[in-house]
């Protein structure tokens, strides 16, 4: 375990940080008092950040305490954008300001402004639109850019990624008859790091404990618990290709829903309101008060919604709603060479085999699973629930061989933990397999442009996090 940094219980360190800030910007008395209510510490590859108060206060706490990490995330995103699109960063920021910023609600904008203020005092110069662009990169790069890239004479774009695996189960499926939710994030290894555990205690609305990214007001990987008794995750709807630039950004709706909603129905209604189709997801939501689970598949024109007290839902990037699948995606849901289809088959196998037994420990094992349903054997790679494209030659697959992407984490929560606002999480591959960026680039020099962008991820243990932590 790494050494912990706890600002509010280590006064000497706190005041040293305050003194050092004078070189970048002067802290006011109110800012000093605000920072004393926040804290951050490190644990097993994760950074835990507690923020509280008004939108401006918690934003300032976030920006000031996470300034180095936010600066690094902007560097990673800017480098990826400029390489993959051959377009300048100023163009990206301009489009974020035109498409996303005007549709972000006042409270979210105030929190973003607070982060910008905290960054400026910490010596990191950034604009509101730049931070909005960071928060909205999944929908700008993944949803908006593919619709306009040809019009700006650029044909350099990444293919759609198959990412994230998740399940939620209740009733007869679980060991105690109550909800169990599990999720792992599959993504590019050179994207902004999602190793932030964010504990938000807002002046108004529900407390949130969620996985996030430094600089984000939402989750993006989308694994969360609230003190309303809601738990949730999502998996991206694969090959989704429609987008409405006039709608409200997904990240803004997600934060409002998670902070404001007290039931599954309220949460889903907020997400559907003025939907832009960006970062289209299948959301798995549970309410530990009613023992209900739901799946909201949010396309653009089409929406799928199911709710029940017995059974399970799974997510593997294949839309289950036929209208979304046929009219808003280009997905082939039967080709088991594809990661999404192979993982969909594996989820159903695991649910059948473990009916009545599912608990947190089994959830952790599911997220770390390496069974390849195409080859019918354990074979870690792009088709497994714990994904490892970096070691997959794709001899039998449709994707680029040895692509530096895969599973970044694992998270599991049950109803007992959710009542305590806690969950179990593992940083790095959910199976514990370590990754070395330098060794990967040495073995695969075709990705040399990623030099300096691929952080190491040593094997880490499963760790329990809880709202209100101080160390």
Residues 286-307 pLDDT 10s: 999 999 999 999 999 999 999 9
**Which residues, in sequence order, are bridge partners of residue 168?**
181, 313
Residue for token pair 């939620």: 168
280 Cβ contact list (under 8 Å, min separation 6):
143, 236, 237, 240, 298, 299, 300, 328
Q: How far apart are CA 170 and CA 165, in angstroms?
A: 18
pLDDT at 280: 96
221 Cβ contact list (under 8 Å, min separation 6):
164, 183, 185, 187, 194, 211, 212, 213, 408, 409
Q: How far apart are CA 39 and CA 400, in angstroms?
A: 42
In Å, how far are 11, 76, 198, 263 from 73, measured between CA atoms? Answer: 29, 5, 16, 33
| Beta strand 422-427 pairing with 180-184 | unpaired
**Which residues, in sequence order, are bridge partners of residue 407?**
186
3-state DSSP helix/strand/coil % of the chain, to nearest 5: 40, 25, 40
| Beta strand 46-53 pairing with 196-202 | parallel
SS3 call for 38: coil
**Domains and their CATH numbers in the chain:** 7-152 (1.10.439), 165-185+221-242+277-465 (3.60.60.20)
**Which residues, in sequence order, are bridge partners of residue 425?**
411, 463
What's the whole-model pTM score? 0.93
pLDDT at 24: 52
Residues 242-293 pLDDT 10s: 999 999 999 999 999 999 999 999 999 999 999 999 999 999 999 999 999 9
Q: How far apart are CA 134 and CA 145, in angstroms?
A: 14
Which residues of the chain register pLDDT less than 50?
1-23, 153-160
294 Cβ contact list (under 8 Å, min separation 6):
264, 268, 283, 284, 285, 286, 305, 306, 307, 308, 313
Tell me the residue length of the chain.
471
pLDDT at 3: 37
pLDDT at 152: 62
DSSP letters for 341-369: HHHHHHHHHHHHHTTTTB-HHHHHHHHT-
**Which residues, in sequence order, are bridge partners of residue 414?**
180
pLDDT at 162: 64
Phi, psi dihedrals of residue 275, rounded to the nearest 5°: -60, 135
Helical ranges in 273-414 per DSSP H: 322-327, 339-353, 360-367
pLDDT at 207: 99
Q: How far apart are CA 426 and CA 196, in angstroms?
A: 12
CA gyration radius, the chain: 21
* CA dihedral sign, ordered 441, 445, 450, 452: positive
What token pair was written down for 280? Answer: 């289209």
């Amino acid at each position: 375990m790494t050494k912990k940094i706890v600002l509010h219980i280590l006064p000497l360190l706190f005041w040293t940080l305050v003194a050092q800030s004078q070189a970048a910007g002067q802290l006011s008395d109110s800012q000093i008092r605000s920072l004393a209510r926040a804290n951050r510490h490190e644990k097993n590859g994760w950074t835990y950040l507690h923020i509280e108060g008004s939108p401006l206060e918690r934003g300032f706490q976030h920006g000031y305490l996470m300034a180095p990490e936010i600066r690094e995330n902007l560097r990673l995103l800017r480098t990826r954008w400029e390489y993959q699109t051959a377009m300048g960063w100023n163009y990206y920021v301009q489009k974020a300001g035109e498409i996303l910023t005007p549709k972000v609600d006042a409270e979210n904008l105030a929190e973003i402004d607070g982060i910008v203020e905290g960054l400026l005092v910490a010596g990191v110069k950034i604009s509101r639109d730049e931070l909005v662009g960071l928060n909205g990169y999944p929908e700008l790069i993944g949803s908006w850019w593919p619709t306009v890239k040809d019009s700006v004479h650029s044909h350099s774009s990444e293919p759609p990624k198959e990412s994230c695996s998740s399940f939620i189960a209740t009733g007869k499926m679980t060991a105690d008859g109550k909800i169990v939710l599990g999720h792992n994030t599959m993504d590019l290894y050179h994207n902004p790091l999602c190793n932030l555990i964010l504990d938000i205690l807002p002046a108004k609305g529900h407390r949130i404990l969620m996985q996030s990214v430094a600089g984000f007001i939402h989750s993006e990987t989308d694994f969360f618990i609230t003190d309303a008794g809601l738990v949730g995750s999502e998996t991206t709807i694969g090959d989704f290709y429609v987008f409405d630039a006039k709608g409200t950004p997904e990240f803004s709706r997600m934060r409002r829903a998670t902070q404001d909603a007290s039931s599954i129905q309220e949460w889903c209604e907020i997400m559907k309101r003025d939907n832009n189709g960006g970062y289209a997801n299948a959301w798995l939501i549970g309410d530990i008060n009613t023992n209900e689970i739901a799946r909201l598949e949010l396309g653009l024109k089409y929406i799928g919604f199911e709710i029940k007290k017995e059974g399970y839902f799974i997510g593997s990037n294949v839309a289950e709603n036929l209208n979304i699948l046929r009219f808003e995606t280009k997905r082939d849901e039967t080709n088991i060479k594809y990661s999404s289809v192979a993982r969909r088959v594996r989820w159903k196998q695991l649910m059948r085999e473990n009916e009545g037994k599912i608990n947190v420990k089994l959830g952790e094992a599911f997220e770390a699973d390496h069974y390849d349903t195409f080859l019918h054997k354990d074979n870690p790679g792009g088709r497994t629930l714990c994904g490892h494209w970096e070691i997959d030659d794709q001899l039998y697959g449709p994707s680029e061989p040895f692509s530096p992407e895969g599973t970044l984490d694992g998270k599991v929560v049950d109803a007992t933990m959710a009542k305590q606002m806690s969950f179990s999480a593992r940083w790095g591959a959910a199976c514990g397999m370590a990754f070395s960026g330098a060794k990967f680039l040495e073995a695969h020099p075709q990705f040399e442009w990623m030099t300096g962008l691929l952080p190491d991820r040593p094997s880490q243990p499963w760790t329990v996090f809880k709202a209100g932590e101080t160390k």
